[in-house]
A and B are shown apart, each in its own frame.
Chain A
Amino acid sequence: MKTIRIAKGYNLQLGGRPSTEVESLPEPARLALLPEHIPFIKPRLLVAVGQTVRQGTPLIEDKRNASVRFLSPGGGRIAEINFGHRRVIQEIVIERDAQEQAVAFESIAESELETFPRKRLIEAILAGGLWPLIRQLPFRDYAQMELEPPMIIVGLGSLEPFQPLPEVYLAGKESLFEYGLTALKRLAPQVHVCAPDSGDSLPDRLSSLVSLHYSGPYPAHDPGVILYRVKKSPEENRAWYIAGQDVLLLAHLLKTGTYPTERDIVLAGPSATTRKHFRTRLGVPLADITAGRREEGDIRHIEGGVLSGFVGSDQTYLGFYESAVNLLPEGNRKGELLGLFRPGYRRPSYSRTFISKLNKNDLVYDCNIHGGDRACIACGYCAQVCPVDILPQFAYKSILAGEVEESLEHGLLDCVECGLCSYVCPSKIELAETLHRARVNYYIEQSK
């Protein structure tokens, strides 16, 4: 079996690691879909406030391709539809009925699956609202079903602090996972299941399914990084990928013909007082997970990993793609007196300018920027950590100068948006955000 060793990247020394314990949460009273955090879609609302929906009723469709729909994670009544700036749909909130009704979809028996026509399989996934779980590199929009991708990368485990552990969410679901892989093999000539090479914690039955091992610091697990290492020609750039836990959702839909709802979510981070996995539902309110399990004070609720996740609050719900809630101190107060001149035993840094380099303990990170905006001083840290060998300090200048061609040459589309360049920058330049916006603009321009 192949092992991909990735040298570049960086592991945060972040404390607050979750345990492998799983707790089942009571059924939430409300559930929501968050169209705002699904990239690139142009949602068209298919429901109105007060309307009754079943589990699996379409809530929105994508105006770019009306066959791509997002379904209701629960049965009940539409309680609220919240709009944000420029009427972007932020949340569609469903108040759950005690007796939930579910829509019935086509179910495919395991024996049929291996010979099931590709086109009908895609239609079944589209109807079941789970097509967007399969995403296409390099832009991470949902996959274009009319193309056959060079490969599908299934990612087990994540090196980002902190994401659910595969040994937890796969436990007892091995056969469902295998079913899901069989389905994916109908979609692409190659399916790579990627797991960390230290992953002896996986049950034997699963480790035999793993076809690629990765080793290295964060973000070696990222499908974009793995593709960057395995691709040999430009034709392979449009690979698809899916997260390990999402394979289970897909398999559940195809096997049972019902819209899946179960999600294993991890609660972690230094400000969480209970750090473990929770078995709950898609679109759960964050408060259901964090209430009574976090410290008091200004705490940031991050949906997703600490580096790539977005900011939520205890008033919001879990996003469609997210399966982690990380709690960090907000850090919205001034630094300690003359902190500039202190050795900084507890102040984490990629550089060697703090003696925290000698501190092997886990450290507390907060969301403070730790400095003012400056021009680039060419320290080169960003290029040292970039897992796909971009030179962010030059790429971002070409973007700001409007040189699209040059930024593409620099590998703009190889960027996996891991956020490390922005993390290490002493001038506090929003490198990752600049690259991200340039990618989005390029994609929108290209698909016109």
Chain B
Amino acid sequence: MGTIEKLFESWRKHFENGGRFERWYPFFESIESVFFAPARVTENAPNVRDHLDVKRFMMLVIVALLPHYAFGVYNVGHLAHLASGLSTDFGAVVFTGLKTVVPLVVVTYMVGFFWETLFAVVRKHEISEGLFVSCALFPLTLPPTIPLWQAALGISFGIVIGKEIFGGTGRNFLNPALTGRAFLYFAYPAQLSGDAVWTQLLAGRNAPVDAFTSATPLAIAAVTDRLGDAQSALADSGYSITTLLVGTYPGSIGGTSTLLCIVGAVFLIILGIANYRIVVGCVAGLLATGFFLNLVAPEGSLPYLAVNPIYHLLMGGAMFGFAYMATDPVSAAHMPVSKWVFGFLIGALTVLIRVFNPAYPEGVGLAILFMNLFAPLLDHIEIKIRLKKRVPNV
């Protein structure tokens, strides 16, 4: 028996029946099972069970998100130094990024874990790992300037209202991280929208240096004057296709890099965790709708209508939402064909919200939440059709 195993064995008695912290057993169990899988064996057929459990399933999503954190830390620091006219030395940039991102992540995890543990203790079940994914996703969707107390409030809303009151992971019908994000947007628009929130300013500055564009690509595309051309407006602000693909522009902490999102989506699809139908459906819906708007846009209309659909995919957090939020298996559609429809409509709604609702520049979050509501209906229809094909057996 190794040292760590002995350590857990010595703590165990306090958490088991009759121990001092008996009620907090779920907390102990969730920590212990990260180190050692439990020794429980099957009692009925089938005698053997797969090695995959929900813990590993969720852990792999977090692994896919780690590059976003690395990128986010760099991007946040880099933009803050650019906007404040400081040196963009790699070490200093990363240090600034860490100073912003680490407290956000720590606060999010502490608050989220507190709620989950509380519900697990009251309901007497083990802590479900969905929480760790929600808490990993949530900070990546936030602007770097968000006050920590708002992050705490947002994740509380996401975990409690988005998930726990319906029974916890597996019984929620909305994506918890997005629910928290949407709550923050509507409750505190000042800290979650506008041009000022996406870049941190350091060294006591109130405004960025002159050469720095703090407007996000989505904001630029949305407010371009009539008769203007959104794409050239973006190019004028320094947002080339490459910049948009790599994601080195102001935006949410981890959602701007479309390239990393594609890598993450492919990783999750290869492992069978994200469903390719949803991701491909989302992208297809977005491109098709963007292209359709190009076709119907009359002369002299809103320039946003004429934006090349590829730009829609590259700007903002669309791909981040498609890869990690829409593919949440619990709140997505469950049936194969429904998944295509679900994905396609998310993509379509994302473009429609972006183009036709200037008050809400990023549409993907609301599009996913909206389709989360419709997923059960899509499933219901598909199941009914499938069951009709069976030879009855009663």
A contact set with B: CB distance below 8 Å: 12, 14, 138, 231-234, 237, 300, 302, 306-311, 328, 330-341, 344, 347-354, 356, 365-380, 389, 391, 393-394, 408-411, 413-414, 417, 419-420, 422-428, 430, 432-433
Contacts and interface: CB of A to CB of B under 8 A. Distances in A.
Contacts of A420: 46
Nearest to B270: A352
A338 B35 contact: yes
B49 A389 contact: no
B130 interface: yes
Nearest to B393: A413
A442 B51 CA distance: 33
A345 to B, nearest CB: 11
B383 A353 contact: no
Nearest to A331: B41
Contact of A432 (B35, B46, B387): B46
Give the one of A340, A366, A422, A423 with max B CB within 10 A.
A340
Contact of A379 (B5, B42, B44, B329): B329
Given A348-B50, A373-B126, A433-B45, A411 B170 contact: no
A215 B36 CA distance: 40
A375 to B, nearest CB: 3
A380 B274 CA distance: 11
Interface stretch (B53-61, B150-158, B288-296, B363-371): B53-61
B41 A426 contact: no
30 contacts: A12-B48, A233-B391, A234-B394, A307-B45, A331-B39, A334-B38, A337-B4, A338-B35, A348-B50, A348-B51, A349-B52, A350-B52, A351-B50, A366-B48, A367-B47, A369-B41, A369-B49, A371-B37, A371-B54, A372-B38, A373-B126, A374-B170, A375-B167, A413-B394, A422-B49, A423-B46, A426-B52, A426-B53, A428-B53, A432-B46
B46 A337 contact: no
Given A372-B29, A378-B332, 15 more contacts: A330-B41, A331-B41, A334-B5, A334-B36, A335-B37, A337-B36, A341-B59, A354-B51, A368-B37, A369-B49, A370-B37, A410-B387, A422-B45, A424-B52, A430-B44
B48 A378 contact: no
Interface of B: 2, 4-5, 29, 33-57, 59-60, 125-126, 128-130, 167-171, 270-273, 275, 329-330, 332, 334-335, 383, 386-387, 390-394
Given A375-B167, A380-B329, A306 B48 contact: yes
A147 to B, nearest CB: 16
A409 B52 contact: no
Nearest to B129: A374
Contacts of B41: 300, 330-332, 367-369
B45 A419 contact: yes
Contacts of B125: 373
B51 A309 contact: no
Given A352-B270, A380-B334, A413-B394, A370 B53 contact: yes
B37 A423 contact: no
Nearest to A347: B51
A377 B130 contact: yes
A377 B51 contact: no
Give the one of A310, A378, A414, A424 with max B CB within 10 A.
A378
A377 B46 contact: no
A367 B48 contact: yes
Contacts of B393: 138, 234, 237, 408, 411, 413-414
**Which 7 pairs from chain A and chain B are nearest by CB?**
A371-B53, A375-B170, A335-B37, A419-B46, A334-B36, A307-B46, A347-B51
B48 A231 contact: no
Contact of B39 (A333, A354, A409): A333
A433 B52 CA distance: 19
A437 to B, nearest CB: 10
Nearest to A374: B54
Contacts of A410: 387
Nearest to A446: B394
A353 B60 contact: yes
B274 to A, nearest CB: 11
Nearest to A234: B392
Contacts of B390: 389, 409, 411, 414
A53 B4 CA distance: 60
Given A306-B46, A337-B36, A368-B37, A375 B168 contact: yes
Nearest to B57: A426
Contacts of A12: 48
Contacts of A354: 51-52
Given A369-B42, A433-B45, A393 B334 contact: yes
Contacts of B275: 380
Contacts of B386: 389, 391
Nearest to A417: B45
Given A340-B34, A368-B49, A422-B49, A353 B29 contact: no
A375 B129 CA distance: 11
A372 B170 contact: no
Contacts of A375: 128, 167-171
Given A332-B41, A377-B330, A231 B51 contact: no
Contact of A374 (B37, B39, B44, B128): B128
Give the one of B33, B47, B171 with max A CB within 10 A.
B47
A347 B271 CA distance: 15
A2 B129 CA distance: 48
Contacts of B48: 12, 14, 306-307, 328, 365-367, 423
B49 A370 contact: yes
Contacts of B126: 372-374
Contacts of A419: 45-46
Give the one of B4, B56, B383 with max A CB within 10 A.
B56
Contacts of B54: 371-372, 374, 377, 426-427
A352 B392 CA distance: 34
B50 A424 contact: yes
A64 to B, nearest CB: 21
A151 to B, nearest CB: 15
A308 B56 contact: no
Give the one of B29, B167, B383 with max A CB within 10 A.
B383
Nearest to B4: A337
B170 A368 contact: no
Given A377-B170, A377-B329, A368 B392 contact: no
B50 A349 contact: yes
Nearest to B9: A334
A370 B50 contact: yes
A273 to B, nearest CB: 19
Nearest to A339: B37
A430 B44 CA distance: 9
A428 B59 contact: no
A433 B47 contact: no
A299 to B, nearest CB: 12
B335 to A, nearest CB: 8
Contacts of B53: 370-372, 374, 426-428
Contacts of A370: 37, 49-53
Contacts of B57: 353, 377, 379, 426
Contact of B56 (A328, A340, A350): A340
Contacts of B51: 344, 347-349, 354, 356, 370
Give the one of A231, A234, A347, A369 with max B CB within 10 A.
A369
A393 to B, nearest CB: 7
A22 B347 CA distance: 63
